[in-house]
Amino acid sequence: MHILPRLLCCCLLSMPVLAQKKNDAFRLQIRKAISPVKIDGVIDEAAWKVADVTTGFHMVLPMDTSAARLRTDVRMTYDDKNLYLVVENYTPDEGPYMVESLRRDFSFLKNDNFLLFMDPFDDQTNGFSFGANAAGAQWDGLMYDGGKVDLSWDNKWVSVVKNYPDKWVFEAAIPFKTIRYKKGITKWGINFSRNDLKTTEKSAWAPVPRQFATASLAYTGSLEWDAAPPAAGANISLIPYLLGGISKDYEKGTATKFRRDAGLDAKVAITSSLNLDLTVNPDFSQVDVDKQVTNLDRFELFFPERRQFFLENGDQFSNFGYATIRPFFSRRIGLGVPIHFGARLSGKLNKDWRLGVMNMQTGKQEATGLPAQNFTVAALQRRVFSRSNVGFIFINKESLHYNPAEAEGKPVYSAYNRNMGLEYNLASSNNFWTGKAMLLKSFSPGKSGYDMVHAANLQYTSKQWNIGWQHEYVGRNYTAEAGYVPRQGYIKLAPQVTRLFFPLSGPVLSHGPLVATTWFFDEKLHRTDNETLINYGIVFRKRNTLNIWAANTFAQLLQPFDPTNTGKDSLLTGSRHSWSSMGMDYVSQPQQLFTYAFSARYGGYYANGTRFMANTELGYRFQPYVSIALNVNFNKIDLPAPWHANTFWLVGPRLDVTMTNTLFFTGFMQYNGQQKNMNVNTRFQWRYRPASDLFIVYTDNYLPEPFFVRNRALVVKLVYWLNI
């Protein structure tokens, strides 16, 4: 098995890569404004009258073989402080625009919107995205991996959307202090994307093949400056917060707790492309609660990071590896303990080199004896060829004042855990070939040997074909205490093939089969798991989708497992189980005010049992102010004694009210029958000035049977963004 990853790495490194950008002929000239620009959605300034205008967008969906039917005109200019953008989005007829709400960072495919994708280093890998939907809700994010957008990034910029009978106009001013770019560079990668739900048309200025997102930086055109963009100058932002709160634990019967707290974040531009983020006593009480799931898995579940400090510029750390092999997972930091302070230095050193270094300090947890811990992660990335890169990562989790308490002869925590790794990310110039090859090693007290990981994948994506191969090896002693690696001691092989067909007419846009198989072996190459899946997918021209699938599954348990995950008896280690199942998934048209999705499965389960699952997601919007959603999940498992029949309900209604694009209310309730818990979370947010907010958050947890309040809390938090 050691030969295969070497061969794949050689293939990845030796693949030919074209040097020239695909859309180099698409160029927009930008000149300095000859007059002040007022952000009001009215194109009456002299600066706009003389600015170059680009039009003639290209259709991406439904098909990418023609010009866009809808006209979109874009102009850009700048002055000493801001980059300006104005867009005229013409529509074929009058009528309401299709939007979800006025909430920031909306879902691209569920809104009429316009987006700007900007690559200031012209490296086709990293950049920034800005935009708005037709109701004026803003969108901004950091771009990474050649076309992904991290929407957790929020910064200070202003925009207005103004509606006319035949068009909607989006006008924005983006401060140069908000973005990072190389001093003196006069050519930026850029593309513009528009989504219109009434006509189901997605288009882009520089053409993008339909199998890729319009955010793909491999297909940007060029923004050519008449002079080097002005230096951003000193750029220091202080973001203090004040917090007051009250909480009570009714289940434990403890006294009411009052909370008065304060903290500070700071952002310092070391250079025009390198940023230092500092935090002291951070608080994340306003972060959305996790969406609960019915857990029928043998391994630890993954819940995504939602805390903004860890998300901003965090792709170098969090995207190293694969979904189930993450040497660094920031949710391990501050898990049940306070974070005292932290710092992160991240950004571009030049066009080819990228750096990320983070250090976080947590406090001691008296209840469990967990000591204060320090987390350090460092990542360095070097661009190679046209769009590929080689990365290095180092992670150190250190327990301070180490004095292990003994529990049955084993320490309850370790003195340290370290990880070191190399990774090669392949992205061909046209994005048809993508892949990754990586090597990791961990260092832990008392563990040596079988403590390495190597994995690789290669994927080919064209309009008709998607062909992929992935393999993984994780040693039984490999440990990533600051990461997410739910399974050790295995070898995994996972090929898959998809073929798409495109009818020339009719309601179906594309359809085709997918065949995927996954095999797990132990380190002695004995099979422990495998699953083969056959799926047939249909995408309709109205963007609704249907998938029908069948699967065959085999599992040999590596440790005792309760198939209901409710604390009942467990199946024995080494027991073998196999079954077949089938299912379907349907998602309705996104342009409807009432949207819905339905999925179901039926088939076998562990211990010769059966499982039926049905999941429904319903949504209705009174656009753009109110959005109502309801998620209902039902599982029925029939097993022999001692488990017998088990039914699990998971119900989660949600209410979003966006009174303006600066005033939001969210109410979210979840009932989890498996966990026997019901929780309520409400959040009021007032963005009283750009990037400055007032939050009021109320949470309740209940025991549903018998109905009993477990705990509740109320928090008021004020955040202020100050530029120096």
* pLDDT above 70 (res 409): no
Question: 17-225 sits in which CATH class?
Answer: mainly beta
Q: Which of 606, 325, 600, 602 has the alpha carbon at shortest distance from 455?
A: 325
What's the rounded Cα separation, in Å, for the pair 140 and 388?
25
The answer to whether the CB of 177 falls within 8 A of the CB of 235 is yes
pLDDT digits (tens, 9 = 90+) for 270-326: 887 888 999 999 988 888 878 888 999 998 888 888 887 887 778 889 899 999 999
pLDDT at res. 412: 60
% of the chain surpassing 70 pLDDT: 94
Please give the structure tokens belonging to residue 470.
């992935």
pLDDT at res. 5: 43
Please give the structure tokens belonging to residue 587.
């998602």
**Which residues lie closer than 8 Å to 423 by C-beta, 6 or more apart?**
320, 321, 390, 391, 392, 393, 436, 437, 438, 439
Alpha-helical (H) ranges within 553-686 are: none
- Torsional sign, CA 87, 89, 94, 99: negative
What's the rounded Cα separation, in Å, for the pair 70 and 683?
38
pLDDT digits (tens, 9 = 90+) for 181-230: 877 888 999 999 999 998 889 999 999 999 999 999 999 999 999 998 98
The answer to whether the CB of 248 falls within 8 A of the CB of 712 is yes
Please give the structure tokens belonging to residue 182.
């190389």
Mean pLDDT of the residues in the chain: 90
pLDDT digits (tens, 9 = 90+) for 347-377: 888 888 999 999 999 998 776 667 889 999 9
pLDDT at res. 122: 83
* Stronger pLDDT, 125 or 171, i.e. the higher one: 171
What's the rounded Cα separation, in Å, for the pair 32 and 83?
9
Neighbours of 299 (CB within 10 A): 11
pLDDT at res. 404: 64
Hey, which bits of 444-526 come out as E strands?
452-461, 465-474, 490-499, 508-521
State how far the alpha carbon of 285 is from the alpha carbons of 26, 462, 611, 699, in Å.
Answer: 46, 44, 37, 10
pLDDT at res. 549: 98
Which H or E run contains 345?
strand 339-348
* Stronger pLDDT, 339 or 180, i.e. the higher one: 339
Domains in the chain: boundaries: 17-225
Please give the structure tokens belonging to residue 86.
């104005």
**Which residues lie closer than 8 Å to 650 by C-beta, 6 or more apart?**
292, 293, 294, 631, 632, 633, 634, 670, 671, 672, 673, 674
Q: What is the DSSP letter of 291?
A: P
% of the chain surpassing 90 pLDDT: 66
The answer to whether the CB of 583 falls within 8 A of the CB of 599 is yes
The arithmetic mean of pLDDT across residues 144-153, rounded, is: 85
The arithmetic mean of pLDDT across residues 337-348, rounded, is: 91
pTM for the predicted model, two decimal places: 0.87
Q: Residue 449: left if φ>0, alpha if ψ -120 to 50, beta else—which one?
A: left
